[in-house]
Structure 1
Amino acid sequence: MFQTLSKWKKKGDFSITGGEPFIRKDLFPFLEYLDSSEWVSNLDILSNGTMITDKTAASLTKFAKLQRIQVSLDGASPKTHDGIRGRGAFKKAINGIRI
């Protein structure tokens, strides 16, 4: 990934998607790299929201290029969302959004 970014010829936006980014132990060092890269204009993260804590949210505030954290919801109610994601996932996702 780092080698690919070093080959970019112009600034661009960078979105972290696929799987759950907050499960990765190297997410914050990677965000630090992206935030300091001259080739990255803006950062976005797509998450299921279940792992966003007060501590995580506070740590994210230091990244100037982080513009958005998108949380996936598979329905407007726990019944729908939890039917797809598992019991309790809706409540955790909503809590992640509120934080």
Structure 2
Amino acid sequence: MSALHRLAATVEARKGADPDTSWTAKLFAKGPEKCAEKFGEEAIEAVIEAVRGDKARLTSEAADVLFHLLVMCAARGVSLDDIEDELARREGVSGIAEKASRG
């Protein structure tokens, strides 16, 4: 099992945890909108580090983005498996054709 799959399992397990003892549970307790807001903040921080060109800081921010993406998706019932299934569906399809299919 990859680190990303272990993280997704931990995120899922924290859905019912005590918000006083888990950052992830605290995010879930604030609702899906707050989870989405936090993901957006982390994405912006990753963009800033990408522009600055600091590889170590970008790596750290990218990890934060992946974590908060999993939390945001889990808050709306979307699992890592769901995301992987969608990626597999798109595999071998040009990005241009895939975008056009969404019309």
TM-score (norm 1): 0.29
Q: Which has the higher strand share?
A: 1
Q: Which has the higher helix share?
A: 2
TM-score (norm 2): 0.28
